[in-house]
Amino acid sequence: MADRRLYDAAAKGDEKALHELLQEDPLLLNRVSYTSPNKTPLHIATIHGHLPFVEQILNQSPHLAEELDSQQSSALHVASAKGYVEIVKKLSSAAPDMCMSRDSQGRNPLHLAAIKGHVRVLEELLREAPFTAREKADGGLSLLHLCVKYRHFEALEILVPQMNELLNWKDDDGDTILHMAVRDKRIEAINFLLTVAELEVNAVNLNGMTALDVLIQSRRDSRDSAIEESLKRAGALRRLFQNQADWLKKKKSALMVVAILIATMAFQVGVNPPGGVWQEDKVDGPQGNQIRSDLANRTHLAGFSILARNDHSQYIGFYIFNTISFIASLSIILLLMSGLPLRRRFFMWILMVVTWISITTTALSYLSSTSSLIPYDANVLLLDVVSSFVYGWIGLMALLLIVHTIRLIIKLIRKRREKRMRRQRRMGLGSAGV
């Protein structure tokens, strides 16, 4: 019953009732702190902003400032979130270590003050425990990140001059506060940050993107042109485009080497087929050299493929695959040397298809040549295993080709739809102007 009266007094800020309860039971506050499953009377009084009541509790039982509720929040967490500066002063003096305490979501009192934009609370906590400013919230967010994320520009203006060392800190995604401000299109914050000399305008996040890259990759709206102009005026550069260009250049060089290698192999196998070539002429019949000039009587001629005579259908299949592989490889070389805009998705898709054809027909040529070299009376298990692996690999490559083709189609459709929407928007604006 006394416990209930104590919580009612805390909610109302009734100091007289608290005094009477403590006279009846001097250990009441201590007992409640150990038996309460949730918030203590200090939490309740802090929630309602009853400063005199908080002072009286701290005078009687200062250790209550260290008690946590079911969310791992102390009374200082509550006061910081509510913006009660005087209560924050009392609680931080009674339990300075609570400035470092984190609630169940990984936030200390300073983080909560930044999230809510309570400037005076931030200043007070920084005076009491300046080291807490270096603590990051979950996700690697610094105090400045939180100010930008929750749109508290006034707090950002006050904090930046006091903690320049946090200006270029990165969260778990490698984003600085400039990345975050640009992504969220916070023009006021962006213009302010760009005036700070210590800001690294071209800092790169984990995706290799600068703030300007983030802007270009984000959904476009009317604010983009002003933000882009401000960034470029401050010396912002596009790194993603440069990275993509460097990546493409390296890939083109590697692909050129692969294409030349495949073309060389296809040419060598073409002039030196599996099983080799006949080393001498063979004449069918007893006449021998007397009818050597009669080609119709010859069983085979020197320099011609042995496989073509022994297994004509296998030879035809092998040469079809090998020829396609050779022509496809030459096509890759030609495409890479042609100067076509290979940064375009369509041309990259063409190059990918031709590469897929070249590699796949090379695999089929291998299958045809190896199967022709296995004797008929040998165990067919070997041929089955080789065939299974080759066809399985070709199936996987075909699946990748289909997936990339579908992605290209989706991107082209989306791009066409966006162009149509922009055209309709311009027409609508023109009509409105008229």
- Residue spans of the domains in the chain: they are 1-135, 157-238, 246-433
The pLDDT score that the predictor gives to residue 411 is 73
163 versus 302: which is more confidently predicted?
A: 163
At residue 288 the predicted structure's pLDDT band, cuts being 50, 70 and 90, is very low
For residue range 308-326, list pLDDT tens digits in order: 777 777 788 888 888 998 9
Whether 285 has a pLDDT exceeding 70, the answer reads no
Angstrom distance (rounded) from CA 358 to CA 369: 16
Question: Per-residue pLDDT averaged across 110-129, rounded?
Answer: 93
At residue 11 the predicted structure's pLDDT band, cuts being 50, 70 and 90, is very high
Whether 52 has a pLDDT exceeding 80, the answer reads yes
The pLDDT score that the predictor gives to residue 337 is 81
CATH topology identical between 1-135 and 157-238? yes
DSSP string across 299-342: EE-TTSBHHHHH-HHHHHHHHHHHHHHHHHHHHHHHHHHTT--T
Q: Any idea which fold 1-135 has? A: 1.25.40
At the fourth CATH level, which superfamily is domain 157-238? Answer: Ankyrin repeat-containing domain (1.25.40.20)
Helix (H, G, I), strand (E, B) or coil at 117: coil
Question: Per-residue pLDDT averaged across 208-236, rounded?
Answer: 87
Question: Per-residue pLDDT averaged across 44-66, rounded?
Answer: 94
Query: What token pair was written down for 92?
Result: 């931080």
Closest among 196, 239, 249 to 214, alpha carbons compared: 239
At residue 305 the predicted structure's pLDDT band, cuts being 50, 70 and 90, is confident
For residue range 396-411, list pLDDT tens digits in order: 778 877 887 787 788 7
Question: Per-residue pLDDT averaged across 371-399, rounded?
Answer: 70
For residue range 20-45, list pLDDT tens digits in order: 888 888 888 887 766 566 789 999 99
Angstrom distance (rounded) from CA 303 to CA 385: 33
Whether 103 has a pLDDT exceeding 90, the answer reads yes
